[in-house]
Structure 1
Amino acid sequence: MTASTTDTALGFSIPGRNARGRIVRIGPVLDEVLEAHAYPKPLAQLLGEALVLAALFGSTLKEAGGQLTIQAQTQNGVVELLVADYKGGELRGYVRHDPERLAAAPVDPSLFSLFGQGYLAITFDQAVTGERYQGIVPLEGESLAEAAEHYFVQSEQIPSLIRISVKQHENGRWVAGGMLLQHLAEGEEGRERLHVRLDHPEWEHIRTLGETVTDGELANPELALDALIWRLFHDEGEIRVLPQSPLGRGCRCDPVHIRQVVSQFSAEEHAEMADKDGVIRVDCEFCARSFPIEVAEL
């Protein structure tokens, strides 16, 4: 099988070990998101991690139209707000930060240096039922990947391994890749909650194999995703690989919708929102575009 190497997600399962996984890699999509903002390198890497997480979790949604949102926030850190989401195979994200605090931060800042005492919120919005599920955990660990592992342990009681690599190559292009491994008790459907069991030998075996993946492999645009799965788990009796899911960059800001929302305000509020030229400017933080609306036309 030949698998695309970038801007795609590939799911797989290892039935004999009651394990499932997903590998994603984004390249041009990540470049498009970052080029709209010109973030300093530490923030570009951070947003790359968040987008990989959104792709790993979002591509597992079974309902078309469902949305997965990752949000990290703090009150006293360099990063004030980090948002990345996935919907229908499309990714978007942005970072709001304090430039002065970033200038005072270390050259290679840790997660704590960027956020301080922050939290990570992961929200699943189901398209068919309209139900929303959200889990919130403290931002703990050395990376967003470690913080997300804590989320699965605390909110889902599912042992998980997450690895993410974000690299900027010599040509200036960005590539990011990630892998999610999970152990489901009693097969794919899952029955007995894992936190009540004394040990998990099958999971420890798969986790040990997964931990051998390198940053270079995850962010290597020349290494096919199915080839990487084979490298890690070729000694297992059976590996089931799912169809690939393409990933794209998509911002859902709609000029017509924005105009409709603004038109619902009163004339007095329009006057307060408008600049000296009588224009209301609505900015989209995801795509960094501005939508001008003349008050006289409302």
Structure 2
Amino acid sequence: MSSPVPSSNPSDPAVKPAAIGPAPVDSVLPFSVSPLDVRGRVALLGPAVDAILKRHDYPKPVSRLLGEAIVLTAMLGTALKFEGRFTLQTATDGAVDMIVVDFETPDRIRAYARFDRDAVEAMPASEAQPERLLGQGHLALTVDQGVHMQRYQGIVALDGTTLEEVAHQYFAQSEQIPTRVRLAVGEVMSRQPGEAPSHAWRAGGVMVQFLPEAPDRIAHRDLAPGDAPGGLDDEDGIREDEDDAWVEARALVDTVEDHELTDPDLTPERLLVRLFHERGVRVYEPHPIHDRCRCSREKVESMLAQFSEEEKTDMTVDGEIVVTCEFCSSVYRFRADEV
């Protein structure tokens, strides 16, 4: 069943135009460009993504890949109009065989990557690209509204494509909403007087979606030129019947460079002005993002209680059962007789 991942629609009456001043770091800023009938989101993550990536001492290629997944999840998760969870998860045969990014409304995010360190470190830098690290498999996007509501999931194949391309495929196939996504992750170097140089991870993203009032203005999903029927421009993959407004919006987003999404001196508002100054852009109240795990001693104890006595005995070492959270690395210790 396809997942009803919400569009980037900031028109909810509860959402008011943003107050004067730039959106803070670790936030997602909704926006709309009425003349082009597009709505979208700009994500700017600093300390939150830096804490997640440094917590596990990931190799740099793995950090960049997981950072992209965190940004994509933040942009999609903050679009939920109800209390719940949005989860992005991959399962592949690559050097990074699993990624899990979990967003809980309204603002909590956590993430984890499982990888083969030897395989990653053996890859030449020129080959350690996100699509190569992922390999073949699938990506699942899951919306969970709680125990009393139906759970929805959309699945997209991973076959050597980037997370940006996977997002395009998902919205074209499952939601039938023309969508463009740009993701970037980078390191910011700094040095205080008398101190050694330090670095911090930053991540950013921008997503636009074509949401005209007249649904007949949305053309069918993009097709590769070699597979397309007549009516497709073979040179650039643009359908002849695609709406001019969407073609313009998509082309503008495609001009965004990685450094613009991670530059500490470039606010989301300034980026949007660069892109849409000729058309006019309206921004809305930003959504904060916090690095917060959902684990607790009570939840871990409840989980352990579900194991058989034999299984708990196998887990016991020196009279203790020790559980480490894969997301936040918190360690929980229990005496064998406690569980």
Provide TM-score, normalisation by structure 1: 0.91
In 1, the alpha carbon distance for the partners of 2:306 and 2:103 equals 29
Find 2:261's aligned residue among 212, 218, 221.
218
Indicate the SS of the match to 2:120: helix
In 2, the alpha carbon distance for the partners of 1:270 and 1:142 equals 41
Per-residue displacement from partner, 1:90-138 (whole Å, max 9, x unpaired)?
Answer: 1110110112221332224133421221211111223596232211111
Aligned residue runs from structure 1 range 83-162, under 5 A: 83-88=100-105, 89-108=107-126, 109-127=128-146, 130-140=149-159, 142-162=161-181
Indicate if the aligned counterparts of 1:140 and 1:146 stay in contact, CA closer than 8 A.
no
Find 1:82's aligned residue among 87, 94, 99.
99
Residues matched between the structures, number: 292
Taking only the aligned residue pairs, the percentage that are identical comes to 40
Indicate if the aligned counterparts of 1:23 and 1:56 stay in contact, CA closer than 8 A.
yes
Per-residue displacement from partner, 1:212-255 (whole Å, max 9, x unpaired)?
Answer: 2221111112222112111110111x433211111110100010
User: What do you get for the CA RMSD once the two structures are aligned?
Assistant: 2.0
Indicate if the aligned counterparts of 1:185 and 1:194 stay in contact, CA closer than 8 A.
no
Q: 2:39: which partner in 1?
A: 20
Q: 2:208: which partner in 1?
A: 181
Find 2:86's aligned residue among 54, 68, 74.
68
**1:293 corresponds to which letter in structure 2?**
F
> For residues 24 and 2 of structure 1, do their structure 2 counterparts lie closer, same or farther at Cα, with a shift above 3 Å needed?
same
Structure 1: segments with no counterpart, 5+ residues: none
**1:16 corresponds to which letter in structure 2?**
P
Find 1:53's aligned residue among 55, 72, 78.
72
In 1, the alpha carbon distance for the partners of 2:133 and 2:41 equals 28
Indicate if the aligned counterparts of 1:90 and 1:248 stay in contact, CA closer than 8 A.
yes
Aligned residue runs from structure 1 range 209-288, under 5 A: 209-236=252-279, 238-275=280-317, 277-288=318-329
Alignment pair present for 1:201 and 2:227: no
Indicate if the aligned counterparts of 1:141 and 1:147 stay in contact, CA closer than 8 A.
no
Provide TM-score, normalisation by structure 2: 0.81
**1:45 corresponds to which letter in structure 2?**
R
Shift of 1:268: 3.0
